[in-house]
Amino acid sequence: MSKSTTSQRTDQGRPSLTQRQIIWRRFKRHRLGVIGTVIVLLLSLIAVFADFLSPYTYDSEHRTLAYAPPTPIHFFDENGASFRPFIYAYKQTRDLISNRVSFSEDTSTKYYLSFFAKGDPYRLLGLFDTDIHFFGVQTPKDSKAQLFLFGSDTFGRDLLSRILFGARVSMAIGPVSIVFSLFLGALFGGLSGFYGGWIDMIIQRIIEILQSFPALPLFLALSATLPSHWSSTAVFFGIVLIFSLIGWTGLARVLRGQILSLRESEYVLAAKAMGTKNLRIIFKHLLPNTLTTVIVTATLGIPGAIMGESALSFLGLGIRDPMTSWGLLLFDFLSSMMTNLRFHPWLMIPGLFIIVAVLAYNFMGDALRDAADPFSNN
């Protein structure tokens, strides 16, 4: 600990940097990477505080307001700028021939938005019962004045709230399945690299066979094996397991390569010569030195898991109700695609969140890789 904080002095009297400080400095210089990291942190915070940040709970239905378009927010009334933004109630008219409901604004009453508005009750962080939401309009549930910033779906559920709740699954699936993959990858990659011989050969053949399958068809086939009576939490972990059953192979390959080269290094030979036990060598000398590579490979694997989950859920073989994820929200879109495309295009908004999350993770991973690469010259 003290070694990394107190800087040693070089001949010139300049403090020399530890490996970690060098990486951190290089990382900070990668502007897109920093922006990506901030977005990842923001989305994760949103996931944690989804019930507080969203104006409604994810299953709060307003059946009379099905497929309401996004609510316009007004900042100007007849007297000019208003101190507080406000909305109008929805006014619905049904076209007798096409039987389509069209929405307009009922400008008779203004409903002001407020911070810390009372709304649907929920349990914050699973600890405190409350009904305070970060923002909202305080109208009764059956009122036509509702705040649907991203519109509503077929049951009149607020899409924004559902997206914020969906962040929980979509943001969790990447890191969680990477942790599982890491465990398997470290175990098999470590064994393969350290022992070599027939253990190595068998593990390498297994990896080769698993990697012969294109990812999505195999995910789909495995996902079809999850029993239909499973709870949505069980399905979530089932999908995590599926991702890590395939995801570990890449990590194991990388780790094996690293350990193979480190195994012959002087300090490991020295440790061996001093009679250090194998396990101690693996945990004290080999694994810490592969840590940077592992972190970088893991981060670069997260976007794949997010995309995989969204694709599975989009095809109806992923996350199940009552949980929700960005991919599952788009599955609802797929069920009557042509109508939705023409009349309810706001239902595509969840896809934008997938792009932002994946882009952010990609930038973060790229910056990490550049920063950790000892041969990079910037």
Partner 1 sequence: MFGFTIRRLINLIPTVFFISILSYFVIDLAPGNFLTKYEFDPTVDKEMLEIQAKEFGLDKPWYERYFIWAGNVVTQADFGFSFAWKQPVLNIFLERLPNTLLITLPVFILSWLLAIPIGIFSATHQYSAADNVFTFITFLSLSIPNFFFGLILMFIMVDWLNVSSVGGLFSQQFIGAPWFNQGGFNLAKFNDYLLHLWPPLVVISTATAAALMRFMRGTMLDIMNAQYIKTARAKGLIERRVIYKHAFRNAINPIISIFGQSLPTIVTAGLITSIIFNLPTVERLFFDALLNLDEYLAMTILLFFAMLLVLGNFIADLALAIVDPRIRYE
Binding footprint of partner 1 on the chain (CB under 8 A):
205, 208-218, 220-222, 224-225, 227-228, 303, 307, 310-311, 314-315, 317, 327, 330, 333-334, 337-338, 341-342, 345, 348, 351, 354-355, 358-359, 362-363
328 in helix, strand or coil? Answer: helix
Beta bridge partners of 111: 87
Distance CA 290, CA 329 (A): 39
What residues contact 64, with CB distance under 8 A and at least 6 apart? 92, 142, 144, 156
Nearer to partner 1, 149 or 358 (CB): 358
What residues contact 284, with CB distance under 8 A and at least 6 apart? 271, 276
φ, ψ for residue 154 (rounded to 5)? -65, -25
Nearer to partner 1, 13 or 227 (CB): 227
Cβ at position 264, least distance to partner 1 in Å: 24
Helices (H), the chain: 2-5, 19-29, 31-48, 50-53, 159-195, 197-210, 215-223, 232-263, 266-273, 278-280, 287-314, 326-335, 337-343, 349-372
Cβ at position 221, least distance to partner 1 in Å: 5
Sign of the alpha-carbon torsion through 66, 233, 226, 46 = positive
Using alpha carbons, select from 360, 347, 373, 288 the residue that is nearest to residue 166.
347
Nearer to partner 1, 115 or 230 (CB): 230
Beta bridge partners of 93: 102
Cβ at position 173, least distance to partner 1 in Å: 13
Cβ at position 215, least distance to partner 1 in Å: 6
Beta bridge partners of 265: none
Nearer to partner 1, 88 or 326 (CB): 326
Cβ at position 32, least distance to partner 1 in Å: 9
Cβ at position 6, least distance to partner 1 in Å: 36
Cβ at position 238, least distance to partner 1 in Å: 12
Per-residue tokens: 8: 């040693």
Beta bridge partners of 128: 124
Nearer to partner 1, 146 or 244 (CB): 244
Distance CA 313, CA 334 (A): 11
Nearer to partner 1, 32 or 199 (CB): 32
Nearer to partner 1, 108 or 212 (CB): 212
Exposed (0-12), middle (13-18) or buried (19+): which is 334, by Cβ within 10 Å?
A: exposed
Per-residue tokens: 89: 């109630």
Distance CA 75, CA 84 (A): 7
Cβ at position 377, least distance to partner 1 in Å: 9
Nearer to partner 1, 86 or 150 (CB): 150
Per-residue tokens: 17: 């940097």
In the DSSP assignment, the letter for residue 282 is I
Cβ at position 366, least distance to partner 1 in Å: 8
Q: Are 58 and 162 in contact (CB under 8 A)?
A: yes
Q: Are 358 and 27 in contact (CB under 8 A)?
A: no
Nearer to partner 1, 179 or 216 (CB): 216
Nearer to partner 1, 182 or 330 (CB): 330
